């Protein structure tokens, strides 16, 4: 029995994705040459959507699930409408499945063939998520990936790798940190990291926020 499961069911239109990517790059080059955009400013904008704006939506979803058992049940049963209750919906979020971390099971998300990602709750995918090394290693050696990201799980904790597809995006509901009883939803949201919702990280610990 392996220490991780791999769920894989891709139906991607790679030619369309590749063509779109090429068009975006061509447009960016033309606009840069004509002086309409500053590449540095564009990088800042992309970084903002990768790590700040988008993930804040997901953090609110997680914090609500941590504080509202009924919402958590709806999220795990059918994530898309539950997430929609908080106003987050749209392209790349038509069918989101939430998977919950427990002491016995840790979930991690990858897209082995391209970069499918739940934009409404996580924003744009980070560069490493789209990289071939991550996509390959996440399936073959998920524990090694977690070490690369700076943490290790108990050997007794099973790892399940979920492979996003053009139809389904996965969203990890991390475990609520201990010592947060009585915290408000807004306070809890500050503990939620983008990587914890992908499964390559953990939420911040209270001491790192309040200390």
**Which residues does the annotation mark as catalytic?**
111, 114-116
The Cα 25–Cα 47 span in angstroms is: 17
- Nearest Cα to Cα of residue 121 among 149, 101, 96: 96
Compute how many other C-beta atoms are within 10 angstroms of the C-beta atom of residue 11. 9
Contact predicate 80/74, CB 8 Å: no
Residue with token string 């975006």:
24
- Nearest Cα to Cα of residue 72 among 59, 87, 83, 88: 83
């Amino acid at each position: 029995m392996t220490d991780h499961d791999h769920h894989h069911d891709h139906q991607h239109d790679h030619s369309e994705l590749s063509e779109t990517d090429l068009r975006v790059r061509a447009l960016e080059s033309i606009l840069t040459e004509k002086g309409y955009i500053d590449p540095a400013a564009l990088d800042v904008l992309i970084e903002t959507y990768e790590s700040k704006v988008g993930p804040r939506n997901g953090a609110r979803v997680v914090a609500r699930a941590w504080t509202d058992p009924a919402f958590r049940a709806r999220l795990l049963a059918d994530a898309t409408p539950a997430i929609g209750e908080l106003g987050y919906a749209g392209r790349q979020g038509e069918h989101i499945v939430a998977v919950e971390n427990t002491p016995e099971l840790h979930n991690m998300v990858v897209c082995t063939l391209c970069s499918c990602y739940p934009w409404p709750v996580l924003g744009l995918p980070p560069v490493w998520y789209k990289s071939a090394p991550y996509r390959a290693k996440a399936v073959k050696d998920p524990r090694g990936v977690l070490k690369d990201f700076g943490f290790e799980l108990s050997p007794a904790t099973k790892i399940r790798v979920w492979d996003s597809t053009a139809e389904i995006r996965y969203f990890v509901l991390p475990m609520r940190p201990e010592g947060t009883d009585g915290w408000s939803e807004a306070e809890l949201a500050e503990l939620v990291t983008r990587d914890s919702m992908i499964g390559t990280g953990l939420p911040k610990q209270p001491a790192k926020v309040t200390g």
